[in-house]
Amino acid sequence: MKAKKGDWVVVHGHQVGEPDRKALITDVRGKDGAPPYVVEWDDGHTSTFYPSSDAVIEEHAVARSQS
């Protein structure tokens, strides 16, 4: 998994009806876009995050429009 600062990480709900969680990647600590990532979650808290198979990276819309 590779990401860059400004991308989003989305963690899919584990049970039916459980909402997805979304976080903005504010720092990439791994080499060449690899985890761990420092993220700011949609509820406002910040953490270091190592994604698992239930997570996907989405390019941030602003970054996409600047390409």
Tell me the pLDDT tens digit for each residue of 5-36. Answer: 999 999 988 778 888 899 999 999 999 999 99
Determine whether 2 is exposed, middle or buried from the number of CB atoms within 10 Å of its CB (0-12, 13-18, 19+): exposed
What pTM does this model have?
0.81
Looking at residue 13, its pLDDT comes to 80
Contact predicate 37/25, CB 8 Å = yes
Question: Residue 2 has which token pair?
Answer: 């590779």
Phi, psi of 31, rounded to the nearest 5 degrees: -75, 135
Residue (of 26, 31, 22, 21) closest to 5 by Cα position: 26
Whether the per-residue pLDDT at 1 is higher than 80: the answer is: yes
